[in-house]
């Protein structure tokens, strides 16, 4: 009988069922519940639910950044009419708002920061800006002064870098971006002298103001230009050397004397 009960216990363990215990007289008594040990229970497969979240795009440039890359960003934003000033080379408030507008129009997060996704989208919509698009409103570095500028008081004007250096005895005191005449009315090159200064000059030939004019060759002069201040290198002069910074040329006008040398070179 003991062997029978042992066999029934084994079956119960394996089957996980309820077995009936029998007395010696063969009568059934209270059923005995055989519980399976935890170790015998099937181990459920581990399931881990990791929320899927896209990796944020890497931020390339943001407010306060400066440099050539910012100029290119601003130049490309100009091409798609999201910014209308500059390029300045500084990631300023206007650039933040332009980037936000560009992002929002294309369903990107409106952060105002230029991340890799925003930049790639802008690249696909624009072309590589040229040098004078990057420096449309000035800010370009000046090239080395011409050897003829190294002595005396000189307005040293470079056509290659589009800059004017005000130099005294080989030392640069002021550097300004300048604009020249067009293909049909070119600015003459060579060595000249300032022969006349006219603070509030007005051109009767072209019917336009030429304030702070310093004449050096016929009707050609260094002077302030409102058109250059407004449009940058998108325009040109009738042969004069235009300056867009009125405050700077006002100071320069007071320093330059009649008879000072003017060198226009490449």
What tens digit of pLDDT does each residue of 159-170 get?
999 999 999 999
More confident residue, 2 or 255: 255
86 and 154 inside one domain: no
125 and 63 inside one domain: yes
**Residue 95 is part of a domain; what is its CATH number?**
1.10.101.10
203 and 157 inside one domain: yes
256 and 197 inside one domain: yes
Residue 182's alpha-carbon distances to 21, 137, 171, in angstroms, are 115, 17, 30
108 and 161 inside one domain: no
Please report the pLDDT score of residue 5 as a whole number.
41
237 and 191 inside one domain: yes
174 and 255 inside one domain: yes
159 and 119 inside one domain: no
Please report the pLDDT score of residue 80 as a whole number.
98
Radius of gyration of the chain (CA): 41
The rounded distance, in Å, linking the Cα atoms of 263 and 189 is: 7
**Residue 258 is part of a domain; what is its CATH number?**
2.40.440.10
Q: Which sequence positions are flagged as catalytic?
A: 223, 240
187 and 258 inside one domain: yes
Assign 145 a pLDDT band (cuts: 50, 70, 90). very high
Is residue 124 situated within a structural domain?
yes
99 and 181 inside one domain: no
- Overall number of domains in the chain: 3
Question: Is the CB of residue 140 less than 8 Å from the CB of residue 68?
Answer: no
Give me the mean pLDDT over the 60-76 stretch: 98
Res. 59: pLDDT tops 60:
yes
Give me the mean pLDDT over the 240-265 stretch: 98
Please report the pLDDT score of residue 134 as a whole number.
97
Please report the pLDDT score of residue 53 as a whole number.
55
154 and 129 inside one domain: no
Report the b/e string of 127-159 with b at 16+ CB within 10 A: eebeeebbbbbbebebeebbeebeeebbbbbbb
Question: Is the CB of residue 51 less than 8 Å from the CB of residue 43?
Answer: no
Please report the pLDDT score of residue 55 as a whole number.
84
Is residue 53 situated within a structural domain?
no
Is residue 186 situated within a structural domain?
yes
For residue 101, the enclosing domain spans 59-134
Question: What global pTM score does this model have?
Answer: 0.74
Is residue 90 situated within a structural domain?
yes
Res. 34: pLDDT tops 90:
no
Q: Which of 82, 99, 134 is the last residue of a domain?
A: 134
Give me the mean pLDDT over the 126-140 stretch: 96
158 and 228 inside one domain: yes
Question: Is the CB of residue 187 less than 8 Å from the CB of residue 220?
Answer: yes
Phi (first) and psi of residue 215, to 5 degrees: -80, 135
Q: Which of 134, 161, 194 is the last residue of a domain?
A: 134
- Count of positions (residues) in the chain: 266
């Amino acid at each position: 009988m003991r062997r029978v009960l042992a066999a029934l216990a084994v079956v119960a363990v394996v089957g996980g069922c309820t077995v009936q215990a029998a007395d010696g007289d063969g009568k059934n008594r209270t059923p005995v519940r055989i519980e399976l040990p935890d170790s015998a229970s099937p181990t459920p497969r581990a399931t881990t639910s990791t929320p899927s979240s896209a990796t944020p795009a890497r931020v390339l440039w943001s407010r306060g950044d400066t440099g050539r890359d910012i100029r290119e960003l601003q130049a490309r934003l100009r091409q798609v009419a999201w910014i209308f000033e500059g390029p300045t080379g500084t990631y300023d408030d206007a650039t933040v708002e332009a980037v936000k507008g560009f992002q929002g129009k294309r369903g990107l997060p409106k952060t105002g920061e230029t991340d890799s996704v925003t930049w790639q989208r802008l690249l696909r919509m624009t072309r590589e800006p040229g040098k004078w698009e990057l420096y449309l409103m000035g800010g370009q570095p000046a090239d080395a002064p011409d050897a003829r500028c190294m002595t005396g008081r000189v307005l040293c004007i470079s056509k290659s870098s589009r800059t004017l250096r005000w130099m005294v005895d080989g030392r640069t005191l002021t550097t300004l971006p300048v604009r020249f005449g067009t293909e049909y009315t070119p600015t003459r090159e060579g060595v000249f002298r300032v022969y006349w200064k006219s603070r509030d000059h007005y051109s009767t030939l072209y019917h336009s103001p030429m304030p702070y004019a310093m004449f050096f060759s016929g009707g050609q002069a260094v002077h302030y230009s409102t058109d250059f201040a407004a449009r940058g290198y998108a325009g040109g002069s009738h042969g004069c050397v235009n300056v867009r910074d009125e405050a700077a040329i006002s100071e320069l006008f007071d320093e330059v004397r009649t008879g000072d040398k003017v060198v226009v070179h490449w």
